[in-house]
């Protein structure tokens, strides 16, 4: 009887309408829940879903390096370095390059590879390389998806002068801490590295001192620009979504330039000092390190946190005194890389995601060697140049355990570094420039407060971080060397707006440093 009643109810028209209504409501609630969940997910992960479904995209081409012959690539290979949204490689696997030759045009598909292969990354924009083999008799290369026109790529060739070790430093901006940069140049030079700096802005006198050093090269590193014709909103500034002055692009740009000429390339920040332990110089150190790890394409040297002392007065300053005053904090941090350039095609400052097959990334134990991270600065009133102190360096004690196994540097090296530095800044025009270096820091305290807030405190670890989020006032009358650049836009590539850097150079100004 009960079953018959239920069958009658289920056959009733009112129930059918009610059932349909309930199903529709449940479907609507499920759809709203999914949409809300996706929206929350997208906001928490830098809008990767929005960028993925977007019809059009922007890319910014920074450089195109052509390798006639290479230890890393097939003959006649070109590598395009560019920036775009972090899901770009999931939407496009290649870029179409039209190669013009004397015999006609040839289309080549350049394979896209992310430099930071990590999704979601805390910045919306990341660097990429696109690699393709082109005809040897090419006249020009252009990005194009039509037969009429295209964005001509400005080709460069890698450096050919042999270098045993090259140090590629992360981009410098608002740079005035001469006590650090002069020490970095002297110490790295002494141990056999050729130094390549990327600079966005620096006080002019310090810039001149670094530029005149025969063991350094300085390249302008501009902020990127996208034109009025763009896929992004008119208010969007990609520099706010690039990690720390687009440093992974700078590191990869440097690697691509020294790929054929350097035996080892190291990627530190200027406040990371590495003193060789496995040999007398960097070349011996890294040769021994890669012998320890024969399958390594890249080796990480971790950082140990330190405090140091220096002088605000040029006449009382000593570069080696930074190391002779060093105090270890017992804290370790994520390290920096040294690579064999023929085994790695791109790199981030902490990790390479583009190590060639058969090789891997290894980590050097801290008790063997580590970078001294010159994190905490003190400027006492007394002179820091003290031969007795230089001749009695502290012990290497990364874990703060009163270790006495070895000192942070050899005394003979310390004295040579000090002597070379004195000779350099006492020579001719350099003496006058050196004496003008400022005793008061304007930018550094502001940047330190800002970076403590946005980076070192780790309160905003899930968001993109860089100097664009720091409030830096203008300082009229301050002589600075800044970067001027020009970009052009091509809008006829299918679904992609291409913005290419076509010129960049340094310019001196009297109104302070710019970002």
The string of DSSP codes covering 392-425 is SPPB--TTSS---S-BSS-HHHHHHHHHHHHHHH
In Å, how far are 50, 63, 236, 447 from 240, measured between CA atoms? Answer: 18, 21, 9, 16
Between CA 296 and CA 275 the distance in angstroms is: 21
Taking residue 210's Cβ as centre, other Cβ atoms within 10 Å add up to 21
Taking residue 100's Cβ as centre, other Cβ atoms within 10 Å add up to 17
Contact 194, 455 (CB under 8 A): no
Q: Domain-by-domain residue ranges, the chain?
A: 2-38, 54-156, 166-486
Between CA 194 and CA 196 the distance in angstroms is: 7
Opening angle at CA 458, ends 268 and 84, nearest 5:
65
Between CA 228 and CA 226 the distance in angstroms is: 7
Residues 6+ apart with CB under 8 A from 214: none
pLDDT in tens, the chain (515 residues): 444 544 544 455 666 777 777 888 787 777 666 555 545 454 545 567 778 888 899 999 999 999 999 999 999 999 999 999 999 999 999 999 999 998 999 999 999 999 999 877 788 999 999 999 999 999 999 999 988 899 999 999 999 999 999 999 999 999 999 999 999 999 999 999 999 999 999 999 999 999 999 999 999 999 999 999 999 999 999 999 998 899 999 999 999 999 999 999 999 999 999 999 999 999 999 999 999 999 999 999 999 999 999 999 999 899 998 899 999 999 998 899 999 999 999 999 889 999 999 999 999 999 999 999 999 999 886 655 666 778 899 999 999 998 888 999 999 999 999 999 999 999 888 999 999 999 999 998 888 888 887 776 655 456 787 788 888 888 999 999 999 999 999 999 999 999 999 999 999 999 999 98
Complete DSSP assignment for 112-133: EEESS--SS-SSSEEEEEEEEE
Q: What pTM value is reported for the model?
A: 0.90
Taking residue 272's Cβ as centre, other Cβ atoms within 10 Å add up to 24
The CATH fold of domain 54-156:
Immunoglobulin-like (2.60.40)
**Per-residue 3-state assignment (H helix, E strand, C coil) for 164-204:** EEEEECCCECCECCHHHHHHHHHHHHHCCCEEEEEECEEEH
CA proximity to 179, closest of 384, 420, 335, 349:
384
Contact 284, 278 (CB under 8 A): yes
In Å, how far are 120, 324, 456 from 309, measured between CA atoms? Answer: 40, 9, 21
Between CA 157 and CA 223 the distance in angstroms is: 23
Give kind and range of the element (H or E) at residue 508: strand 496-509
35 phi, psi to nearest 5 deg: -60, -45
């Amino acid at each position: 009887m009960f079953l018959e009643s239920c069958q009658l109810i289920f056959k009733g028209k009112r129930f059918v309408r009610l059932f349909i209504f309930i199903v529709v409501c449940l479907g609507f609630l499920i759809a709203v829940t999914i949409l809300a969940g996706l929206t929350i997910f997208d906001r928490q992960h830098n809008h990767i879903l929005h960028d993925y479904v977007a019809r059009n995209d922007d890319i910014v081409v920074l450089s195109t390096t052509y390798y006639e012959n290479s230890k890393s690539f097939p003959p006649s290979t070109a590598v395009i370095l560019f920036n775009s949204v972090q899901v770009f490689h999931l939407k496009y696997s290649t870029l179409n390059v039209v190669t013009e030759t004397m015999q006609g045009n040839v289309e080549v598909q350049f394979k896209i590879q992310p430099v930071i292969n990590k999704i979601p990354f805390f910045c919306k924009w990341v660097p990429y390389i696109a690699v393709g083999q082109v005809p040897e008799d090419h006249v020009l290369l252009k990005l194009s998806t039509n037969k009429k026109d295209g964005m001509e790529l400005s080709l460069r060739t890698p450096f050919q002068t042999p270098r045993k070790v090259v140090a590629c430093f992360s981009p410098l901006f608002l740079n005035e801490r001469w006590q650090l940069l002069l020490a970095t140049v002297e110490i790295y030079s002494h141990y056999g590295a050729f130094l390549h700096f990327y600079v966005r802005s620096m006080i002019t006198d310090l810039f001149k001192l670094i530029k005149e050093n025969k063991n350094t090269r300085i390249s302008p590193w501009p902020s990127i620009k996208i034109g009025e014709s763009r896929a992004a909103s008119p208010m969007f500034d990609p520099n706010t979504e690039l990690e720390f002055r687009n440093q992974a692009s700078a590191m990869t740009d440097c690697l691509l330039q020294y790929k054929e000429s350097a035996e080892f390339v190291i990627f530190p920040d200027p406040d990371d000092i590495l003193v060789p332990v496995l040999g007398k110089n960097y070349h011996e150190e890294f040769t021994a390190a890669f012998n320890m790890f024969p399958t390594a394409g890249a080796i990480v040297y971790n950082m140990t946190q330190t405090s140091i002392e220096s002088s605000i007065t040029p006449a009382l300053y000593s570069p080696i005194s930074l190391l002779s005053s060093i105090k270890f904090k017992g804290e370790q941090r994520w390290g920096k890389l040294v690579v064999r350039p023929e085994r790695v095609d791109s790199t981030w400052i902490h990790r390479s995601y583009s190590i060639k097959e058969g090789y891997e990334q290894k980590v050097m134990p801290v008790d063997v060697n580590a970078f001294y991270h010159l994190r905490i600065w003190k400027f006492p009133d007394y002179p820091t140049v003290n031969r007795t102190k230089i001749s009695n360096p502290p012990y290497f004690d990364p874990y703060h355990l009163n270790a006495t196994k070895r000192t942070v540097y050899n005394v003979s090296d310390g004295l040579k570094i000090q002597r070379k530095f004195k000779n350099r800044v006492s020579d001719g025009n350099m003496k006058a420039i050196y004496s003008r270096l400022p005793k008061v820091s304007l930018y550094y305290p502001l940047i330190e407060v800002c970076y403590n807030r946005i980076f070192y405190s780790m309160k905003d670890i899930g968001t993109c971080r860089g100097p664009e989020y720091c409030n830096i006032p203008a300082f009229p009358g301050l002589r600075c060397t800044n970067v001027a650049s020009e970009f052009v836009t091509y809008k006829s590539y299918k679904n992609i707006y291409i913005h290419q850097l076509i010129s960049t150079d340094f310019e001196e100004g009297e109104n302070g440093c710019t970002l």
